[in-house]
Amino acid sequence: MVFKAKSEHVLASLSDDEIINHIKLAREAADAEQVKLAISLLAWRRHGNVYARVRVKIRNSVSDSEDVAMSVMEDAIKVKFRGEHMGEFVNLLNRITDRRIADFYKKKKLDTTPLPDEHEGDETVWVEVSGDEDMDGFVITRMVLYDHLEALSPRHRMVVELRISGYSSKDCVENVNVAFPDEDSPMGVANVDQIYKRFRTKIAADLKDGE
């Protein structure tokens, strides 16, 4: 069966399940433009639900909620969705939404920073920062953190960012394998643990060397 590309108007008239099937066929035909177009339509159909979910968590600002919802849509459009079933896409969208909400609050918490060299295995521990001297240490920690993040591959960076956000290794595996379905081998829990432990060790060593 020869795959036939569809216009945006035609795709918009299809049901969610029909768009899912079209994404699957487009992927098999290596038609990246059709995959992106179909995922875009599917994502924007869910925009209202995403925005409502964000507003529940970010009550004080309509503009911030809109920005977070927009970032969710952009991430959903970029993801390499396999096109298996609608439930898979909804779950993926929910995970992206949760992650962007967490990112929003992390940016707001300018007076806290995670301890990378202590409390191994407990990412819920934070250190309070107060005063200019402590703030200098906070800024240095953030610089070291971001430098090491930038050095990671996209796949490994996602692992680290999810673990920092509080995701379990098992949840990381599910998210990363969905986001990077074309890798030669799927990510496993042991891989996640090793990547994150190595990252934490490097951060701790850099901070110790720099006092």
pLDDT in tens, 7-57: 989 998 988 888 888 988 888 888 888 888 988 888 888 888 788 778 877
For the chain, domain boundaries: 1-108, 110-211
Whole-number Å distance between alpha carbons of 203 and 146: 10
Q: What's the pLDDT at 142?
A: 58
CA separation for the pair 157, 196 (Å, rounded): 9
Q: Which amino acid is present at 101?
A: I
Tokens 């159909």 identify what position? Answer: 45
Residue 109: per-residue pLDDT: 59
Please tell me which residue, 128 or 152, carries the higher pLDDT value: 152
How far out from the chain centre does Cα 35 lie? 20
DSSP state of 129: -
Q: Assign 192 a pLDDT band (cuts: 50, 70, 90).
A: very high
The half-sphere exposure of 86 on its side-chain side, counting CA atoms within 13 A, is: 8
Mean pLDDT, the chain, whole residue set: 76
Residue 114: per-residue pLDDT: 43
pLDDT reading at 194 higher than 90:
yes
pLDDT tens, position by position, 107-126: 775 434 443 433 344 433 33
- C-alpha–C-alpha distance, residues 36 and 70, integer Å: 16
**Higher pLDDT among residues 1 and 199, named by residue:** 199
The amino acid present at 139, given as its one-letter code, is V
The answer for residues whose C-beta is within 8 angstroms of residue 72's C-beta and 6 or more apart is 50, 54, 93, 96, 97, 100
Residue 129 has pLDDT above 60, yes or no: no
151 alpha carbon, distance to own chain's centre: 17
Q: What is the model's pLDDT at position 96?
A: 86
Residue 122 token pair: 């407990």
Residue 76's CB: how many other CB atoms inside 10 A?
22
Q: Give the bridge partners for 126, in sequence order.
A: 114
DSSP, collapsed to helix, strand or coil, labels residue 112 as: strand
Query: Would you give the distance in Å from CA 177 to the centre of its chain?
Result: 12
Binning pLDDT at 50, 70 and 90, where does residue 140 land? low
Structure confidence at residue 113 (pLDDT): 43
* Alpha-carbon span 198 to 176, nearest angstrom: 18
pLDDT value for 183: 77
